[in-house]
Amino acid sequence: MSGLKQIVVERGVITFDGQVVESFGFGMDPSQRVHVAFLDETKLDEGGRFSEASVSFHSTKQVTLAGGSFTEEEFKSPELAALLDAIRAAAPNLKEGA
């Protein structure tokens, strides 16, 4: 297991400890968790005129999704990119290009 990685943004926090992705805040209660062994897709949405930029972590084995919404600046940050890279590298079942 690698060290804890996290991003703290205006609306919430996403953490990754090398095995579990957890999102706190983002208007969701309670926090949402997904183990990388169950993670099959990550979705990034740059947002648009009527929507915020967002990241979501999908698993066919869980009903609830982990993820969060971001300002444009937060979404384009190197911290978020590094966190997503670490999650993708640890997830053995991600779909191609996810």
Which CATH number goes with the domain that contains 53? 2.30.29.30
Please write the tens of the pLDDT for every residue from 58-67: 988 877 788 9
Q: Is residue 36 part of a domain?
A: yes
Q: How far is CA 31 from CA 64, 89, 95, 96, in A?
A: 10, 23, 25, 27
Mean pLDDT over 26-33 rounds to: 82
CA count, 13 A, side-chain hemisphere, 5? 19
Cβ 37 vs Cβ 44: under 8 Å: no
Number of domains forming the structure of the chain: 1
What pLDDT is attached to residue 9? 94
Is there a domain that residue 95 lies in?
Answer: no
Bigger pLDDT: 64 vs 96:
64
Asked, for residue 83, whether it belongs to a domain, the answer is yes
Pairing outcome for strands 20-25 and 41-45:
unpaired
Higher pLDDT, 25 or 65: 25
Residue 97 domain-assigned (yes or no): no
pLDDT-derived band of residue 31, with 50, 70 and 90 as boundaries? confident
What six digits make up the tokens of 24?
């706190």
- Helices and strands (H and E) in the chain: how many: 2, 7
